[in-house]
A = this chain, B = another copy of it.
């Protein structure tokens, strides 16, 4: 008899995420241990329970998922989980708080379907948040020339700085969201702003010479890109192929499920932005 696949879900929010739970069930997980209001101090004992209960050959049937709405808190939980591992005593871990990794992967994959990324100029509006930073990282690793735009130039510069350290040789420049020139000459634009905040008004994209693809990850009006509807999915508006949040959502869900399934193939996987993007490329 094969062991049941157990996913330990760690969530800093008071209530563990129903979203992540349903996706895990649909990805084939047999048993969920859902934990809410998890603090970093509690992680060690929870992880010990995962690594000290099954034999070394069986540990791939247990995995940890770190979710919740707060990406920073989730990163701290993830770090605490890794600190509890030692030698072969570990289980695979996936981080997808607020859907940041799966969303970033789906957004970059949407662009990639239409624009060869290597050498392309891609503008990431609101590129300093949890999703934006991951989009920038993924684009940089693909060899794109990334314009990181934020409300404040110093924030954009900070993100360029951080990503440069993990992606040596990355071609990154800092811009402000409001600077219309940020999209000028770019082949693609990805808007990662928060719900309800318009970053570029309707009618703007048609004037951007050479723009081939536009992605807006904001599903709640006002939309980030006034020219893109949430349901756009490889929809052409003039010369530009567009994806809205819902249009990207199908790919995001497929990536999420594939990543969960992959967790149970080994006991030493760490699924963060790059690994999750790689899973998306193989779909």
Contacts and interface: CB of A to CB of B under 8 A. Distances in A.
A33 B9 CA distance: 12
A80 to B, nearest CB: 13
Interface in A87-113: none
Contacts of A22: 6, 49-50, 53-54, 62
Contacts of A34: 33
Contacts of A47: 18
Contact of A49 (B17, B48, B54): B17
Contacts of A49: 17-22
A76 interface: no
A253 to B, nearest CB: 8
Closest 8 A/B residue pairs (Cβ): A18-B49, A19-B49, A22-B53, A18-B46, A15-B42, A21-B33, A4-B25, A25-B31
Interface of A: 3-4, 6, 8, 14-23, 25-26, 31-35, 37-38, 42, 45-50, 52-54, 62, 69, 253
